[in-house]
Structure 1
Amino acid sequence: MHLFDQTGTHPTNSKLTTTCFFFFLDIQYLK
């Protein structure tokens, strides 16, 4: 989580990256 926060300079960009990250995890768990 901290890595994503540091990577995204803009709050919106960080939130989008975090959302995609959780979405990716959801896909992995569904498989």
Structure 2
Amino acid sequence: MKKSRFTDSQILAILKQAEAEIIQEAIAKKW
């Protein structure tokens, strides 16, 4: 069994948060 620091749900939450920040930054640059 692989030992990972994060559970799948934590990884998904981190990815979604990062994606949201990237999108917000892109929108800010557009305007």
- TM-score over 0.5 for the pair: yes
Partner residue in 2 for 1:24? 21
Residue deviations 1:1-31, cap 9 Å, x none?
Answer: xxxxx7x510000000000000000000000
Higher helix share: 1
| TM value normalised by structure 1 | 0.71
Q: Which residue type is aligned with residue 18 of structure 2?
A: F
Paired positions, count: 25
Q: Which 4+ residue blocks in structure 1 deviate beyond 3 angstroms?
A: none
